[in-house]
Amino acid sequence: MLGKLNTLFDRAFGGGREPSATEREHALRVATALLLIEVARADYADDLAEDAAMLGSLQQLFSLDAAHAELLLEEARREADHAVELQQFTRRLHAQLTVAEKHRVVEMLWRVAYADHRLDKHEDHLVGRIAELLYVSRGDLIRIRNSVRGDA
């Protein structure tokens, strides 16, 4: 997975040429969807509410219709099945996303974690780890979590 995702990122952000807007956007979409899937899988339980939260978040963030959001999730699931570590591509996300975009991604992760109305310790740990890798401050992480928890 990381090899394929790295190739996607290299095409989008590297190789000595300016990536097209389409390449950059696709790489960011796949990486974001992959992070959502990893959080949903962290509690080792399949949950329709988490699936719905992932779809809704991707639709909203990327202005996708349901069919395109589902295709994005399918692609990210295939990639996530082979995931070994997060740091290799969160580093690239950190370099490419604005602070506001990073906060939005963390918010989406919390929404998936709270979709089943309970926060598993593994989900909590993983969201914290991803936020740390994206250089989101602990204070912002907690503020975003409390906001999402209040909505849930």
In CATH, what number is assigned to the domain containing residue 123?
1.10.3680.10
| Angle CA 83–87–93, to nearest 5 | 100
Predicted pLDDT of residue 10:
60
Predicted pLDDT of residue 25:
83
Q: How far apart are CA 23 and CA 33, in angstroms?
A: 15
Q: What is the rounded average pLDDT of the residues 24-31?
A: 85
Average pLDDT, the chain: 86
The residues, ordered by sequence, that sit 6+ positions from 140 with a Cβ below 8 Å of its Cβ are: 103, 106, 131
Domain count, the chain: 1
Asked if the model's pLDDT at residue 67 lies above 90, the reply is yes
Single-letter amino acid, residue 40: A
Task: Supply the pTM of this predicted model.
Answer: 0.81
Confidence of residue 12 (pLDDT cuts 50, 70, 90): low
Q: Coil, helix or strand for 90?
A: helix
Torsion of CA 107, 111, 117, 120, to 10 degrees: -70
Asked if the model's pLDDT at residue 2 lies above 50, the reply is no
**Domain encompassing residue 83:** 2-151
